[in-house]
Amino acid sequence: MNYDNIRFDIDDGVAQITLNRPDKLNSFTQAMHRDVRSALDEVKADQSVRVLVLTGAGRGFCAGQDLSERAEEPGQELDLGDSVEKNYAPLVQALRDLPMPVVCAVNGVAAGAGANLALACDIVLAAKSASFVEVFCKLGLIPDTGGTYFLPRLIGSARAMGLALLGEKLTAERAESWGLIWKCVPDEDLVQQTQELARHFASAPTKGLAFTKQALHASASNTLQQQLTLECMMMSELGNSFDYREGVAAFMDKRAPQFKGK
Protein backbone atom coordinates (compact mmCIF):
# COMPACT_ATOMS: atom_id res chain seq x y z
CA MET A 1 0.00 0.00 0.00
CA ASN A 2 1.21 3.52 -0.79
CA TYR A 3 1.05 6.16 1.92
CA ASP A 4 1.18 9.95 1.81
CA ASN A 5 2.85 10.63 5.17
CA ILE A 6 5.18 7.68 5.66
CA ARG A 7 7.39 5.39 3.63
CA PHE A 8 6.74 1.73 4.26
CA ASP A 9 8.33 -1.41 2.92
CA ILE A 10 8.95 -5.04 3.82
CA ASP A 11 12.07 -6.80 2.58
CA ASP A 12 13.44 -10.19 3.61
CA GLY A 13 11.79 -10.21 7.03
CA VAL A 14 12.52 -6.53 7.80
CA ALA A 15 9.67 -4.01 7.85
CA GLN A 16 10.51 -0.32 7.96
CA ILE A 17 8.28 2.66 8.68
CA THR A 18 9.85 6.03 7.90
CA LEU A 19 7.91 9.06 9.12
CA ASN A 20 7.90 11.23 6.00
CA ARG A 21 6.95 14.84 6.64
CA PRO A 22 10.52 16.20 6.71
CA ASP A 23 9.46 19.81 6.14
CA LYS A 24 7.53 19.59 9.44
CA LEU A 25 10.14 17.52 11.28
CA ASN A 26 7.80 14.54 10.84
CA SER A 27 5.27 15.93 13.29
CA PHE A 28 2.03 14.01 13.59
CA THR A 29 -1.26 14.89 11.96
CA GLN A 30 -4.45 12.87 11.92
CA ALA A 31 -3.53 11.64 8.45
CA MET A 32 -0.09 10.45 9.55
CA HIS A 33 -1.61 8.65 12.52
CA ARG A 34 -3.89 6.78 10.12
CA ASP A 35 -0.97 5.87 7.87
CA VAL A 36 1.17 4.57 10.74
CA ARG A 37 -1.71 2.57 12.22
CA SER A 38 -2.42 0.99 8.84
CA ALA A 39 1.25 0.09 8.34
CA LEU A 40 1.42 -1.45 11.81
CA ASP A 41 -1.64 -3.54 10.96
CA GLU A 42 0.19 -4.77 7.87
CA VAL A 43 3.27 -5.61 9.93
CA LYS A 44 1.24 -7.57 12.45
CA ALA A 45 -0.62 -9.51 9.75
CA ASP A 46 2.45 -10.41 7.69
CA GLN A 47 4.00 -13.56 9.17
CA SER A 48 7.19 -13.03 7.18
CA VAL A 49 8.07 -9.92 9.23
CA ARG A 50 10.54 -10.62 12.03
CA VAL A 51 11.65 -7.10 12.94
CA LEU A 52 10.29 -3.56 12.56
CA VAL A 53 12.47 -0.49 12.08
CA LEU A 54 11.02 2.94 12.84
CA THR A 55 12.84 6.10 11.77
CA GLY A 56 12.31 9.57 10.33
CA ALA A 57 13.06 11.28 7.03
CA GLY A 58 15.21 14.38 6.78
CA ARG A 59 16.92 16.13 9.67
CA GLY A 60 14.53 15.11 12.45
CA PHE A 61 12.99 11.96 13.84
CA CYS A 62 9.68 13.38 15.06
CA ALA A 63 8.70 16.72 16.59
CA GLY A 64 5.54 15.30 18.18
CA GLN A 65 2.15 16.78 17.41
CA ASP A 66 1.78 19.20 14.50
CA LEU A 67 0.33 22.13 16.45
CA SER A 68 -0.62 23.95 13.26
CA GLU A 69 -3.28 21.32 12.59
CA ARG A 70 -4.96 22.17 15.89
CA ALA A 71 -4.52 25.90 15.35
CA GLU A 72 -6.65 25.66 12.23
CA GLU A 73 -9.76 25.36 14.41
CA PRO A 74 -9.68 28.51 16.60
CA GLY A 75 -12.42 29.00 19.13
CA GLN A 76 -13.42 25.35 19.20
CA GLU A 77 -13.18 23.49 22.47
CA LEU A 78 -10.31 21.04 22.31
CA ASP A 79 -10.13 17.74 24.18
CA LEU A 80 -6.49 16.72 24.16
CA GLY A 81 -7.33 13.64 26.21
CA ASP A 82 -9.50 12.46 23.34
CA SER A 83 -6.58 12.93 20.93
CA VAL A 84 -4.26 10.92 23.18
CA GLU A 85 -6.86 8.20 23.69
CA LYS A 86 -7.63 7.81 19.99
CA ASN A 87 -4.19 8.34 18.50
CA TYR A 88 -1.09 8.28 20.69
CA ALA A 89 -2.11 5.70 23.28
CA PRO A 90 -3.11 3.08 20.68
CA LEU A 91 0.10 3.79 18.75
CA VAL A 92 2.27 3.10 21.80
CA GLN A 93 0.28 0.00 22.69
CA ALA A 94 0.52 -1.33 19.14
CA LEU A 95 4.31 -0.98 19.15
CA ARG A 96 4.63 -2.66 22.55
CA ASP A 97 2.34 -5.52 21.51
CA LEU A 98 4.11 -6.43 18.26
CA PRO A 99 5.37 -10.05 18.41
CA MET A 100 8.85 -9.05 17.18
CA PRO A 101 11.64 -6.65 18.11
CA VAL A 102 11.05 -2.99 17.27
CA VAL A 103 14.18 -0.96 16.50
CA CYS A 104 14.01 2.82 16.51
CA ALA A 105 16.67 4.83 14.66
CA VAL A 106 16.53 8.40 15.94
CA ASN A 107 18.14 10.42 13.17
CA GLY A 108 17.55 13.89 14.63
CA VAL A 109 15.48 15.73 17.18
CA ALA A 110 12.84 13.67 19.00
CA ALA A 111 10.55 16.08 20.80
CA GLY A 112 7.37 15.70 22.79
CA ALA A 113 5.36 12.72 21.61
CA GLY A 114 8.21 11.99 19.21
CA ALA A 115 10.63 11.42 22.07
CA ASN A 116 8.24 9.10 23.88
CA LEU A 117 7.35 7.26 20.68
CA ALA A 118 11.02 6.33 20.40
CA LEU A 119 11.08 5.16 24.03
CA ALA A 120 8.13 2.85 23.31
CA CYS A 121 10.38 0.82 21.00
CA ASP A 122 12.53 -2.10 22.16
CA ILE A 123 15.96 -0.99 20.96
CA VAL A 124 16.77 2.68 20.35
CA LEU A 125 19.79 3.78 18.34
CA ALA A 126 20.39 7.52 18.05
CA ALA A 127 22.72 9.56 15.90
CA LYS A 128 25.21 11.62 17.88
CA SER A 129 23.55 14.81 16.65
CA ALA A 130 20.10 13.64 17.82
CA SER A 131 18.41 14.88 20.96
CA PHE A 132 15.40 14.19 23.14
CA VAL A 133 13.18 16.97 24.50
CA GLU A 134 10.13 16.63 26.75
CA VAL A 135 8.60 19.91 25.62
CA PHE A 136 5.20 19.38 27.23
CA CYS A 137 5.95 21.52 30.29
CA LYS A 138 6.47 24.54 28.02
CA LEU A 139 2.88 24.18 26.82
CA GLY A 140 1.30 23.51 30.20
CA LEU A 141 0.88 19.80 29.46
CA ILE A 142 2.17 16.46 30.75
CA PRO A 143 4.44 14.00 28.92
CA ASP A 144 1.96 11.82 27.06
CA THR A 145 2.53 8.97 24.58
CA GLY A 146 3.68 6.90 27.55
CA GLY A 147 6.23 9.47 28.74
CA THR A 148 5.13 9.39 32.38
CA TYR A 149 5.48 5.59 32.27
CA PHE A 150 8.75 5.16 30.37
CA LEU A 151 10.85 7.96 31.81
CA PRO A 152 10.96 6.96 35.50
CA ARG A 153 11.34 3.28 34.63
CA LEU A 154 14.26 3.92 32.30
CA ILE A 155 16.22 6.61 34.13
CA GLY A 156 14.75 6.88 37.64
CA SER A 157 12.45 9.43 39.22
CA ALA A 158 14.99 12.24 39.76
CA ARG A 159 16.13 12.43 36.14
CA ALA A 160 12.62 11.81 34.84
CA MET A 161 11.29 14.66 36.96
CA GLY A 162 14.01 17.01 35.75
CA LEU A 163 13.38 16.25 32.08
CA ALA A 164 9.60 16.51 32.48
CA LEU A 165 9.53 19.72 34.56
CA LEU A 166 12.32 21.63 32.84
CA GLY A 167 11.99 20.51 29.24
CA GLU A 168 15.72 20.74 28.66
CA LYS A 169 17.29 19.12 25.62
CA LEU A 170 19.00 15.80 26.32
CA THR A 171 21.78 14.89 23.92
CA ALA A 172 21.98 11.40 22.47
CA GLU A 173 25.31 10.83 24.21
CA ARG A 174 23.85 11.67 27.61
CA ALA A 175 20.71 9.67 26.83
CA GLU A 176 22.94 6.64 26.34
CA SER A 177 24.94 7.29 29.51
CA TRP A 178 21.71 7.61 31.49
CA GLY A 179 20.32 4.36 30.09
CA LEU A 180 17.46 6.05 28.26
CA ILE A 181 18.50 4.50 24.94
CA TRP A 182 20.54 1.50 23.84
CA LYS A 183 23.29 3.23 21.88
CA CYS A 184 24.50 6.57 20.49
CA VAL A 185 26.37 6.20 17.19
CA PRO A 186 28.15 8.57 14.79
CA ASP A 187 25.69 10.17 12.39
CA GLU A 188 27.32 8.56 9.38
CA ASP A 189 26.99 5.08 10.94
CA LEU A 190 23.34 5.22 11.98
CA VAL A 191 21.83 3.71 8.83
CA GLN A 192 24.42 0.94 8.58
CA GLN A 193 24.22 -0.04 12.24
CA THR A 194 20.43 -0.01 12.11
CA GLN A 195 20.45 -2.26 9.04
CA GLU A 196 22.92 -4.65 10.67
CA LEU A 197 20.74 -4.87 13.77
CA ALA A 198 17.63 -5.41 11.66
CA ARG A 199 19.29 -8.21 9.70
CA HIS A 200 20.38 -9.82 12.97
CA PHE A 201 16.83 -9.84 14.30
CA ALA A 202 15.45 -11.04 10.95
CA SER A 203 17.45 -14.26 11.37
CA ALA A 204 16.94 -14.62 15.14
CA PRO A 205 14.48 -16.86 17.07
CA THR A 206 11.59 -14.42 16.83
CA LYS A 207 9.13 -16.23 19.08
CA GLY A 208 11.65 -16.38 21.90
CA LEU A 209 12.39 -12.68 21.49
CA ALA A 210 8.67 -11.88 21.52
CA PHE A 211 8.24 -13.80 24.77
CA THR A 212 11.27 -12.03 26.21
CA LYS A 213 9.64 -8.67 25.43
CA GLN A 214 6.40 -9.77 27.07
CA ALA A 215 8.14 -11.06 30.16
CA LEU A 216 10.21 -7.92 30.67
CA HIS A 217 7.16 -5.71 30.22
CA ALA A 218 5.15 -7.82 32.66
CA SER A 219 7.87 -7.54 35.30
CA ALA A 220 6.98 -3.86 35.82
CA SER A 221 3.79 -4.85 37.65
CA ASN A 222 4.23 -8.53 38.56
CA THR A 223 5.35 -9.85 41.90
CA LEU A 224 8.38 -12.14 41.92
CA GLN A 225 6.11 -15.17 42.24
CA GLN A 226 3.96 -14.04 39.34
CA GLN A 227 7.05 -13.49 37.23
CA LEU A 228 8.46 -16.92 38.08
CA THR A 229 5.14 -18.49 37.11
CA LEU A 230 5.14 -16.57 33.82
CA GLU A 231 8.68 -17.74 33.09
CA CYS A 232 7.62 -21.36 33.66
CA MET A 233 4.68 -21.02 31.27
CA MET A 234 6.77 -19.37 28.58
CA MET A 235 9.62 -21.85 28.84
CA SER A 236 7.17 -24.74 28.55
CA GLU A 237 5.91 -23.39 25.24
CA LEU A 238 9.29 -22.32 23.88
CA GLY A 239 10.83 -25.68 24.74
CA ASN A 240 8.59 -27.25 22.12
CA SER A 241 9.39 -24.71 19.41
CA PHE A 242 11.28 -25.36 16.21
CA ASP A 243 13.81 -22.66 17.02
CA TYR A 244 14.75 -24.19 20.36
CA ARG A 245 15.31 -27.58 18.75
CA GLU A 246 17.29 -25.96 15.96
CA GLY A 247 19.36 -23.95 18.42
CA VAL A 248 20.31 -27.05 20.40
CA ALA A 249 21.05 -29.03 17.23
CA ALA A 250 23.24 -26.24 15.86
CA PHE A 251 25.13 -26.03 19.15
CA MET A 252 25.77 -29.77 19.16
CA ASP A 253 26.78 -29.76 15.48
CA LYS A 254 28.99 -26.70 15.95
CA ARG A 255 27.25 -24.81 13.13
CA ALA A 256 25.28 -21.60 12.77
CA PRO A 257 21.57 -22.05 13.57
CA GLN A 258 18.93 -21.52 10.90
CA PHE A 259 16.06 -20.06 12.90
CA LYS A 260 12.61 -19.76 11.34
CA GLY A 261 11.03 -17.54 13.99
CA LYS A 262 8.70 -20.34 15.10
**pLDDT tens sequence across 33-60:** 999 999 999 999 999 999 999 999 999 9
Task: Please tell me the predicted confidence (pLDDT) of residue 73.
Answer: 56
Task: Please tell me the predicted confidence (pLDDT) of residue 77.
Answer: 72
Provide mean pLDDT across the span 204-233.
96
Strand duo 6-11 + 14-19: pairing = antiparallel
- The whole-angstrom separation of Cα 70 and Cα 67 is 5
Query: Average pLDDT of the chain?
Result: 95
Q: What are the CA-CA distances from residue 81 to residues 117, 125, 142 (Å)? A: 17, 30, 11
> Does the pLDDT value for residue 75 go beyond 80?
no
pLDDT in tens, 105-133: 999 999 999 999 999 999 999 999 999 99
pLDDT bucket at 1, cuts 50 / 70 / 90: confident
Provide mean pLDDT across the span 141-148.
97
Provide mean pLDDT across the span 197-203.
97
| Residues 120, 96 contacting (CB under 8 angstroms) | yes
Task: Please tell me the predicted confidence (pLDDT) of residue 69.
Answer: 80
Q: What are the CA-CA distances from residue 64 to residues 1, 19, 20, 118, 160 (Å)? A: 24, 11, 13, 11, 18
| Residues 144, 88 contacting (CB under 8 angstroms) | yes
pLDDT in tens, 145-183: 999 999 999 999 999 999 999 999 999 999 999 999 999
- The whole-angstrom separation of Cα 55 and Cα 125 is 10
> Does the pLDDT value for residue 74 go beyond 70?
no
> Does the pLDDT value for residue 16 go beyond 80?
yes
| Residues 250, 239 contacting (CB under 8 angstroms) | no
Smallest CA-to-CA distance from 154 within 181, 125, 123, 114 is with: 181
pTM for the complete prediction?
0.94
